[in-house]
Amino acid sequence: MVNIPFTILFAVSMLAFAFSVYKKVALIRQGRPTERTDRGGLRTAAMLINAVFQKSVIRGSFGFNHALLFWSFLVLLVANGEFIVNGVFPRVSLDRLPEAFHHWLLLAFDIVSVLVLIAVVAAILRKLFHPLYKESRTAEAFIILGVIGALMLAYMGIVAFQVMIGWVPWQYAPFSALFSVVYAGRTTPVEVHQLAVFFWWAHAVLLLGFINFLPYSKHMHILTAIPNVYFKLLDKPAVPQRENFEEVTNLGAESFKDLTWKDLLDSLTCTECGRCQVNCPATLTGKPLNPRTLIHKIKENMNENEAALVGEGEHQISKDAVWSCVTCGACMEVCPVFIEHAPKIVKMRRNMVQMNSDFPEELLNLFENMEQRSNPWGIAPSERTKVFTSIKAQDFNPEETEYLFFVGCAGAFDSRSKQISLAVAMLMDEAKVTWGTLGKDELCCGDSVRRLGNEYLFEQMALKNVEMFKARGVKKIVTQCPHCFTTLKNDYKQYGLEIEVIHHTELLDTLVRDGKLKVNDNHKKTVITYHDSCYLGRHNGIYEQPRNIIKAITGKEPVEMERSKDTAFCCGAGGGRMWMEENLGTRINVNRAQQAIDTNAGTLCTACPYCMTMMSDGMKDLNTKSIYVKDIAEVLAESVLL
C-alpha cells in the first residue's frame, strides 16, 4: 500500500527541488574551466577533515555549535530518510531491523533531536545578543533556525505518540517521552490520534518545504559546502591564474561568466558566517570592501544574470571595493568553506586594467615606470649597483656564488630598505655564504603589477626574468622581500621556473641554528614584537623562522600582537596598495602600528621592506618614539657584527 497524498506531495516537491538545483548547476556551468580534480586522495582527505570532521568550522568562534548541528544533521538524515520512505510505503520501517539495533537507533535520534534544539536556541540567542556582525540578524536566518527547531519538535511529537501507544519503549526515547505532555488533556483516543497526525504532517510539510527552500537561501551551503571543500585550492598561496592572451578575448572577469565554475560554486557556498569580514583589514578600517558581501554580490549578480560584476548597481561590486583589497588573504584563511576571495578581486582588476584602462590615475606612473625601467620609481637601472658600495659585492656566477641575492626594487632604491639589503649581505659574508647579484641587470619581479591586474605587463616581466635566471645558471635565490620571494617562488612556476627561492629570515634562521652566526648579548634586554608580513606568513606559512631568530637574539619569545601569525593584520601595502593613496576610512598601517605599540615592546621587527615603510610611517603618524622599527636582519646584524 502506498500513502497516496504524501507520495504526491513528495513527488512534486522533489521535482521542484531537482528543477531548482538544475538551475543553479546551469548557472555554475557558465563559469570558465579550472582544474580542480587532481590529487583525488588529498582532496578526499581534506574534505573528510574539514567538512565531515568540521576542523575548519570548529576553529572559529561559535564553531562547535555549528559542528554539532552538522553532525546531528548527518544522524538525522537516517531518521528523515526513514520518514520519507515510510511515508510513501507505510510498511517499510526501521522497526524491521533487529529490535536491539532499532532501539539504539531510536535513542540516538532522540538524543540528537534534543542537541539540535539546544544548538538552535544557542544560535538564536547568539544572533540576538552577541552576533559576529549585526547584519546577520536577518529574517531568513531566524526563519531557518525556527524551521529546524520546529522540525525537531514535530519529530518528538510523533515519537511521543508512539511511546504513548507502546510502539516505542520510553527508555529509548526519553526526551520525546517527556514531550508527551502535549497530549495531556486530550480526553479521547481520537483527539490524541489527531494530534499525532498533525505532528506527522507538520513534519512532512516542514521537511519538504525546507528542502525546497535550501537552493534559494544561504542554507544552500548544506548542499554545496562538501563539494566546495573537495574542490578547494590545495596549494598555498593562491597564485592568480595565467591569462591566455592568444585565445581569450575578454581578459579577467567582467561578468560572472568570466569567473571560473569554482568561483561561482564559492558564491553559492558562503554561509554568511562573517568570519572573513571581522578579519579583513579593509573592512575593519572602514573601506567599502567587505569580503562577505563581495561573495554575496557575486551570487546575486549570477542569479540576476547581470552583465557586469563591477559597477554601482544593487548586485554589483563598487570600484572602490575592488581597489581596496590588499590581497592579504586573511579572509581566505578563516573561511570555514575555503572560499577564495582575493583571486576573484584580482580577476576583476585585471578586466578593468586590461580591457578598459580603468584604474586609479595614480597607478599610471607606476605602470609606465615598470614598463620602461622595471622599477616602480622609474630610476635608472645603473643605480641598482650602488646599494653595496660600502661592501664587496660580486656579480652572480654559478661557479663561484651559491646564491643569487635578488635585492628587489625597494632593497636597491629605497634608502631605508637599502640598509636591510646591506645587513643581509653582511650577515651572509659573516657566515661565509657565497652570494652575487645581477647588478644593473636585475629586473622587478612584477608582484605589484600582477596583484593590480596589469597581467600583460607582468607576463612580459616574468618571461624576461625567467629567461635571465636560466641563462645565468641560477639555482638558488635569496630575497629580502616577501613579495619578490613569493612571486619568484610561486608565480614563476607558471612560466617554467622551479628553483629554490628562500627568504632571508629562512636563511638567517638556519645560519644561526648551525652556529655560523654567533649572537652576542647586545639585544638580550630588548623586548621585540614581530609583524608578520602577509606574503611571508599567511601566504607562505613562514611564521617560526623569524621568531626563532628573535628568540636567539633576545633569549625569549617575541611578545605577540593581538593579531599575529595566521590572523595577522596587513600593513596596508600588499596587492599593489603600496603605490596608492589611502583616502577611504582610517589608515591600515596606523591601526597596525597601534597594535604594535600596545604590546609595550621596545622594537618592532619586520621582515619586508613594504612593512618597514608602512610601520615606520604609522609610528610617525602616531607621533611615537617609544618603539624602533627594524628589519630582523638589522637586529641580527647588531647582535652578530657589533
Q: Where are the beta strands (DSSP E) in 168-266?
A: none
Determine, following the binding rule CB under 6 A, whether residue 56 of this chain makes contact with ligand SF4: no
291: left (phi over 0), alpha (psi -120 to 50) or beta: alpha
Q: Which is nearer to ligand SF4, 339 or 549 (CB)?
A: 339
- Which residue type sits at 390? S
- In the complex, least distance from residue 582 CB atom to ligand SF4, rounded to whole angstroms: 12
User: Rule CB under 6 A: is residue 271 a binding residue for ligand SF4?
Assistant: yes
Residue at grid coordinates 547581470:
306
What is the nearest approach in angstroms of ligand SF4 to the Cβ of residue 578?
A: 14
- Which three three-digit cell numbers place residue 150? 520546529
238 counts as binding ligand SF4 under rule CB under 6 A: no
Which helix (DSSP H) or strand (DSSP E) does residue 261 occupy? helix 261-269
Using the 8-state DSSP alphabet, how is residue 401 labeled? -
Q: Which is nearer to ligand SF4, 349 or 418 (CB)?
A: 349
Which CB atom, from 73 or from 170, has the smaller least distance to ligand SF4? Answer: 73
Shorter beta-carbon distance to ligand SF4: residue 130 or 525:
130
Single residue of 219, 292, 350, 451 touching ligand SF4 by CB under 6 A: 292
Query: CA torsion angle for 535, 231, 463, 435 (degrees, to 10)?
Result: 40
46 versus 339: smaller Cβ distance to ligand SF4: 339
Task: Report the C-alpha gap between 461 and 475 in whole angstroms.
Answer: 19
Phi-psi region of 541 (alpha: psi -120 to 50; beta: other; left: phi over 0): left
Q: Which one of 291, 408, 411, 439 is in contact with ligand SF4 (CB under 6 A)?
A: 291
* Cα distance between residue 38 and residue 471, in whole Å: 33
As measured in angstroms, the least distance from the Cβ of 541 to ligand SF4 is 17
Cell of 265: 560554486
User: Is 329 one of the binding residues for ligand SF4 (CB under 6 A)?
Assistant: yes
Among 66, 219, 341, 450, binds ligand SF4 (CB under 6 A): 341
Contacting range for ligand SF4; rule: CB under 6 A; set: 77-85, 168-176, 274-282, 605-613: 274-282
Of 283 and 421, CB closest to ligand SF4 = 283
CA atoms within 13 A on the CB side of 589: 23
Q: Among residues 133 and 456, whose Cβ is nearest to ligand SF4? A: 133
Q: Which is nearer to ligand SF4, 338 or 485 (CB)?
A: 338
Answer for which of 66, 203, 275, 503 binds ligand SF4 (CB under 6 A) is: 275
Instruction: Say which DSSP state 629 is in.
Output: E
Among 116, 173, 207, 282, binds ligand SF4 (CB under 6 A): 282
Give strand pairing partners of 559. 529
Task: Give the angle 333-337-342 at the CA atoms, nearest 5°.
Answer: 50
476-479 vs 403-406, strand pairing mode: parallel
Residue 337 binds ligand SF4 (CB under 6 A): yes
Using the minimum distance from each CB to ligand SF4, give the nearer residue, 271 or 316.
Answer: 271
Read off the C-alpha cell for 283: 573592512
Could you give the CA distance from residue 352 to residue 346 in angstroms, rounded to a whole number? 10
- Of 64-72, 86-94, 277-285, 374-382, which part binds ligand SF4 (CB under 6 A)? 277-285
Identify the residue among 79, 226, 270, 488 touching ligand SF4 (CB under 6 A): 270
Residue 260 gets which letter from DSSP? B
Query: Smallest distance from the beta carbon of 294 to ligand SF4, in angstroms?
Result: 7
Element (H, E) at 202: helix 189-213
427 to 254, 410, 505, 512, 532: CA distances (angstroms): 48, 19, 11, 10, 22
Question: What is the DSSP annotation of 477-528?
Answer: EEES-HHHHHHHHTGGGGGT---EEEEHHHHHHHHHHTTSS---STTTT--E
Provide, rounded to whole angstroms, the least separation between the CB of residue 534 and ligand SF4.
8
We find the least distance from the C-beta atom of residue 328 to ligand SF4, in angstroms, to be 4
> How many residues sit close enough to ligand SF4 to count as binding (CB under 6 A)?
28
On the CB side of 174, how many CA atoms lie within 13 Å of its CA?
4
Instruction: List binders of ligand SF4 among 294-313 (CB under 6 A).
Output: 295
Report 498-517 residues binding ligand SF4 (CB under 6 A).
none
Does the footprint of ligand SF4 cover residue 339 (CB under 6 A)? yes
C-beta of 411: minimal distance to ligand SF4 in Å?
Answer: 25
Q: Which is nearer to ligand SF4, 309 or 331 (CB)?
A: 331
Site stretch for ligand SF4 (CB under 6 A), options 9-17, 201-209, 266-274, 498-506: 266-274
Nearer to ligand SF4, 280 or 302 (CB): 280
Q: Is 532 a binder of ligand SF4 (CB under 6 A)? A: no
In the set 116, 163, 331, 635, which binds ligand SF4 (CB under 6 A)? Answer: 331
3-state DSSP: the chain helix, strand, coil percent, rounded to 5?
Answer: 60, 5, 35
CA 236 to chain centre: 11
Examine residue 328 and tell whether it contacts ligand SF4 (CB under 6 A). Answer: yes
Q: Which of 558, 603, 538 is nearest to 334 (CA)?
A: 538
632 binds ligand SF4 (CB under 6 A): no
Selected range binding ligand SF4 among 43-51, 110-118, 273-281, 509-517, rule: CB under 6 A: 273-281
If binding is defined by CB under 6 A, does position 272 make contact with ligand SF4?
yes
Minimum distance from CB of 610 to ligand SF4 (Å)? 14
Residue 325 contacts ligand SF4 per CB under 6 A: yes
Q: Which of 207, 268, 330, 404 binds ligand SF4 (CB under 6 A)?
A: 330
- What 3-state DSSP class applies to 539? coil
DSSP-derived 3-state class of residue 7: helix
Torsion-angle region of residue 67: left (phi > 0), alpha (psi -120 to 50) or beta? Answer: alpha
- Per-residue contact flags (x/-) with ligand SF4 for residues 579 to 598, judged by CB under 6 A: --------------------
Order of all β-strands in the sheet with 628-631: 528-530, 603-606, 628-631
Residue 276 or 553 with smaller CB distance to ligand SF4: 276
The residues with which 628 forms a beta bridge, in sequence order, are 603
Residues that bind ligand SF4 (CB under 6 A): 270-276, 280-282, 289, 291-292, 295, 325-331, 334-337, 339, 341-342
